[in-house]
Amino acid sequence: MRLAAKLILLFLVGILLIVVVFSIITLQRERQIALEQHQRYAEDLAEIIQQSAMELDSQPAKVRHVRVRRVQLTTSDRSHLPRVPVERLTVTEHITTISMPDEQGTNRLYTYVPLFDSTGPAGEPSPSGSRIEISAPDSSGESHLQNALTTSLLTLVGVSGLSAIVIFVGGIRMVGRPLDRLIAKVGRVSRGDFAGPVELNSNDELGKLGSAVNQMCERLTQQREQLEIETAHRIDALEQLRHADRLRSVGRIAAGIAHEIGTPLNVVSGRAELIASGDLTPQGTRESALAIKTESDRISRTISSLLEFARQRRPHREETNLTQLLSTTIGLLRPLAEKSHAELRLDVPEQAVMAEIDQAQMQQVVTNLINNAVQSDDSGVEVVISLQDRGDKFQLTVTDNGRGMDQDTLSHLFEPFFTTKPVGEGNGLGLAISHGIVSEHGGEITVDSTPGSAPGHGSTFLVTVPKRQMTQGTIRDSA
């Protein structure tokens, strides 16, 4: 509706401009005709009274509203000067008509007819400095202006009435209603309702637009149905994969528990039977009791690790000096590393790196990564622990030159109870726990490894953690 009104308003303004321009041109044309007519009348009148032009010096003639008198262009007597400034008359020797107000402020037409002398060269008449001034009220301009204004107003009223009819018929019925239907249809489409085609019984651009919208809705309906079918299939497939993954995880955890607990229980059971048989010497009984105690501690550690993995608590953040944390942790682990013929080297920036983290949990991550690097090769490895400040994050890197890992090992590295170490040297929960701690801190842990014994082999663990806890507003800003 608004678009139709705008189009009709633009059409109305164009018609109005045409009417105004036509009225101005008509007014100027009629004004010019009036001046030419007045000038012809004045010229005829001047020829008639030219024989008695001398009498006009003493007594100007006046007939109704027309005044006739003789004037001089070069004289000191102001009463014989023309009403119009002399400089506007000396530039031409032809009849001149000028409109200007008189003493009372009434516009009058002044026509000046030159008088000729018969004493010119070869007896031919020549113009003299005298003129016959014929003046009459300039009523033609006002009457023509009124007529033009009246005509313009009538034309404008007619155009306005016609435009009103066009607005109602053409704007509302031909443009407004189809546009309203299209807008309503597009609104339903934006809400996901593609049903109900828009009906436009016209062969113009709006009709073509309506047909295009209907075709678009049909295609969108077909694509949505196809998408719903594909989504349902994908959800079913995903549920099946999740179920299979859960079964695989349960099986791996059960196998890990059976392995980590079953072997020590077998030792405990065998040693207990030996003690119960009474065939052992006191020394043998003591050794069996110590073996039972050792395997029981191993079972206890496995259960504690499993509970820690299953019930990971949320980090208790506090401002921590990461440089000092790494130095303390390496100092505690250095004797164990030396027993495995491993060398620990720390590379940190000169300026302390501060972050809000759970100090105990992050120390556990560092410990697990260093232990994993130390045990990567039996012949002794070099482990480099480096810390880098990345603005709002910090990066912890643990690099070793051990045997490295293949792709199959990397794909299961952070799964619980997955380990490549000999029985009794690891339960496969250290890296899984470390991965959970880093995730709880809003960070990520990645690994890059090159297997083999050639130069450049080894593994690199990269831990990236935000220095500050990310709030909901921070998450939205980063997104």
DSSP string, 203-256: SSHHHHHHHHHHHHHHHHHHHHHHHHHHHHHHHHHHHHHHHHHHHHHHHHHHHH
Check the CA dihedral 31-35-40-42 and report its sign: positive
Question: 396 pairs with which residues across the strands?
Answer: 387, 463
Six token digits for residue 32: 């010019």
Record the tokens describing residue 459, joined without a space.
């593994």
Give the model's pLDDT for residue 477: 46
Report the half-sphere exposure of 58 (CA within 13 A, side-chain side): 3
Give me the chain's average pLDDT, please: 76
pLDDT of 407 reads: 84
Q: What domains appear along the chain, each with residue ranges and CATH number?
A: 2-147 (no CATH), 194-311 (1.10.287.130), 315-478 (3.30.565.10)
HSE at residue 141, side-chain half, CA atoms within 13 A, is 13
Give ∠ CA 45-49-51 in degrees, rounded to 5: 145
Q: Is the pTM of this model over 0.75?
A: no
CA distance 458 to 113: 119
pLDDT at 408: 82
pLDDT tens per residue, range 418-457: 776 665 555 667 788 888 889 888 899 999 988 765 555 7
| pLDDT tens for the chain, residues 1 to 479 | 555 566 667 776 777 777 777 767 776 776 677 667 666 666 666 655 554 555 555 556 565 567 788 888 777 777 778 888 877 776 566 777 888 887 777 778 888 888 766 555 554 555 567 788 888 777 655 665 677 667 767 876 777 777 667 766 666 667 777 777 788 888 888 888 878 787 777 777 777 888 888 888 888 888 888 988 998 888 888 777 766 655 665 666 666 666 667 777 888 888 888 888 877 788 888 888 888 888 888 778 777 766 665 555 677 889 999 999 999 988 888 888 888 888 999 999 888 899 999 888 898 899 889 988 888 887 778 999 999 998 899 999 999 988 888 888 888 788 777 776 665 555 667 788 888 889 888 899 999 988 765 555 789 999 999 988 765 444 444 44
Identity of the amino acid at 59: Q
User: Which pLDDT does position 476 carry in this prediction?
Assistant: 41
CB 61 within 8 A of CB 69: yes
How far apart, in whole angstroms, are the C-alpha atoms of residue 463 and residue 373?
Answer: 14
Predicted pLDDT at 256: 62
Determine the pLDDT at residue 325: 92
Q: What angle do CA 40, 43, 49 make, to 5 degrees?
A: 145
The pLDDT of residue 210 is: 80
Cα separation, 440 vs 432, whole angstroms: 12
The pLDDT of residue 475 is 40
Q: Per DSSP, what are the bridge partners of residue 385?
A: 346, 398
* pLDDT tens readout for residues 8-45: 677 767 777 777 777 677 767 766 776 676 666 666 66
Which pLDDT belongs to residue 443?
92
Whole-number pLDDT of residue 314: 74
**What's the pLDDT at 473?**
45
Q: What is the pLDDT of residues 58-87, one digit of tens each?
A: 556 565 567 788 888 777 777 778 888 877
Burial of 305 (0-12, 13-18, 19+ CB in 10 A): buried
pLDDT of residue 472: 44
